[in-house]
C-alpha cells in the first residue's frame, strides 16, 4: 500500500527529466497520474510504463502557455476524478541566446511564458477544486537561479524562476486557511535534456557530477507524502560538486 493511494496527481513537464522522474516516483506511491507536456508520444510511453508496473496514468498533452488549454485539462480532471490532490508544476524552458547582449523580444516571451505564465495558469486553475475539497498540495520546480543571480542561466530564466519562488510562497500566504500547501523546489544543475540549450557544451565528466532527475523525483515524492499538517515551503537540492562553488574557489584560493 502506497502513501498516495487514492490520490490524484497532475504532473506537468512530464515528458522528460524531472517531471518524468517525479511521475514515476509518485506512481510508485499509488497515486493516479495525469501527465502533461507539449509532446504526446513521450507522455504515452511514460503512461505505458506506469500502467505496466500496476499504476494508473492518463495523458493530457497541451501547451500550458494557453490558459484555455490549462482550464480544459482541469475541467476534465474534475469530470473524471472529482478531485485533484497534487499538482507537480514542473514545465519550464530555457534558450541558448540568453545574455542581455543576445536576447530578443521573442526570447523574453518564451522564457516568461514558458517558466512563469504556464505555472501561474496551472496554479490558478486548480485552486477552486482544491478549496472545494478542503485541501491540496502544489510542488513547483524553480531553480537555484530562482535564488541566485549569475551570468550562467541568463536574465530571462533567472527573473522568471525568481518569480516562481515568490508565486509559491504567496499561495501559502493566502491559501493556508483552506488546507492548501505549496512547496517550491530549487534544484542546482540537473542532467536533463534542457542542458542541450546551454551555449557552451558540457563534458561527460561535468554531466556525471550533476544531479540526476531521479534525485529530484525522490525529493518530490518525499514532499508529496508529507502529512497534511506539514508544509515544506522551500527546499534547495544541489550537486555535491557544485560548479558554481568550485569556480569561485578557483578564482579566490583559500
Enzyme catalytic residues: 157
Task: For the sheet with 180-187, list strands across it.
Answer: 56-59, 32-36, 8-12, 86-89, 136-141, 180-187, 234-237
CB neighbourhood size of 120 (10 A): 17
- Do 10 and 36 form a contact (C-beta atoms < 8 A)? yes
CB neighbourhood size of 105 (10 A): 7
What residues contact residue 78 under an 8 Å CB cut-off, 6+ apart?
A: 84, 129
What residues contact residue 210 under an 8 Å CB cut-off, 6+ apart?
A: 188, 189, 190, 191, 239
Amino acid at each position: 500500500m502506497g502513501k498516495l493511494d487514492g490520490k490524484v496527481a497532475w504532473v506537468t513537464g512530464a515528458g522528460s527529466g524531472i517531471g518524468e522522474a517525479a511521475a514515476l516516483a509518485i506512481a510508485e506511491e499509488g497515486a493516479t497520474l495525469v501527465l502533461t507536456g507539449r509532446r504526446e508520444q513521450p507522455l504515452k510511453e511514460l503512461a505505458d510504463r506506469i500502467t505496466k508496473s500496476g499504476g494508473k496514468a492518463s495523458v493530457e498533452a497541451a501547451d500550458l502557455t494557453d490558459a484555455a488549454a490549462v482550464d480544459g485539462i482541469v475541467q476534465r480532471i474534475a469530470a473524471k476524478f472529482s478531485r485533484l490532490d497534487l499538482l507537480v508544476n514542473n514545465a519550464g524552458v530555457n534558450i541558448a541566446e540568453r545574455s542581455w547582449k543576445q536576447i530578443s523580444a521573442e526570447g523574453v516571451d518564451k522564457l516568461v511564458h514558458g517558466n512563469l505564465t504556464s505555472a501561474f495558469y496551472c496554479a490558478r486553475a486548480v485552486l477552486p477544486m482544491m478549496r472545494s475539497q478542503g485541501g491540496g498540495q502544489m510542488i513547483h520546480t524553480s531553480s537555484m537561479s530562482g535564488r541566485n543571480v549569475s551570468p550562467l542561466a541568463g536574465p530571462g530564466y533567472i527573473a522568471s524562476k525568481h518569480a516562481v519562488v515568490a508565486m509559491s510562497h504567496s499561495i501559502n500566504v493566502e491559501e493556508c486557511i483552506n488546507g492548501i500547501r505549496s512547496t517550491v523546489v530549487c534544484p542546482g544543475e540537473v542532467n536533463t535534456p534542457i542542458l542541450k540549450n546551454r551555449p557552451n557544451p558540457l563534458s561527460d565528466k561535468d554531466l556525471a557530477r550533476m544531479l540526476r532527475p531521479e534525485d529530484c523525483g525522490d525529493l518530490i515524492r518525499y514532499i508529496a507524502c508529507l502529512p497534511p499538517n506539514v508544509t515544506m515551503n522551500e527546499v534547495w537540492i544541489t550537486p555535491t560538486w557544485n560548479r558554481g562553488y568550485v569556480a569561485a574557489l578557483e578564482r579566490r584560493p583559500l
